[in-house]
Amino acid sequence: MTVSDVAKYVRSKNAGPFWVTVDIFCESEQEYEILKNSKAISKAKFAEIYQVGEDTIKLFFLPHIFAIKVSYPRAMPQGGPDEFDMHSGQQYIPVLDIEII
């Protein structure tokens, strides 16, 4: 089972010129709890995926809206000459395949 099997909606977005945020939304408390309690939803996993230091990951659990928010520093500032996804709209894709354990 993967995040895409459990979550209703996953998105990523620009969180200022130096950060990206990934939001994972669930339709029910049960689905939210599956993801929240999974060892795969961790700072370590997101640091591995996005090749950043684990200590730079911000991980928030939002039970009132059945959501998980993860923020991490961008590899390069938004709008720089080597920028490849200025709005960070494609950065959620690796999250979909995280195996829920």
> What is the per-residue pLDDT across 20-48, written as a single tens digit (0 to 9) for each?
999 999 999 999 999 999 999 999 999 99
- pLDDT, one tens digit per residue, over 56-74 is 999 999 999 999 999 999 9
Give Cα 31 distance to the centre of its chain. 16
pLDDT of res. 98: 97
**Which amino acid belongs to residue 69?**
K
What is the DSSP code (8-state) at residue 52?
A: -
Q: Which residue has the higher pLDDT, 79 or 26?
A: 26
Among 68, 76, 80, smallest CA distance to 12 is for: 68
Q: What is the mean pLDDT of the chain?
A: 94
Q: Is residue 83 pLDDT above 80, yes or no?
A: no
Amino acid 29: pLDDT: 97
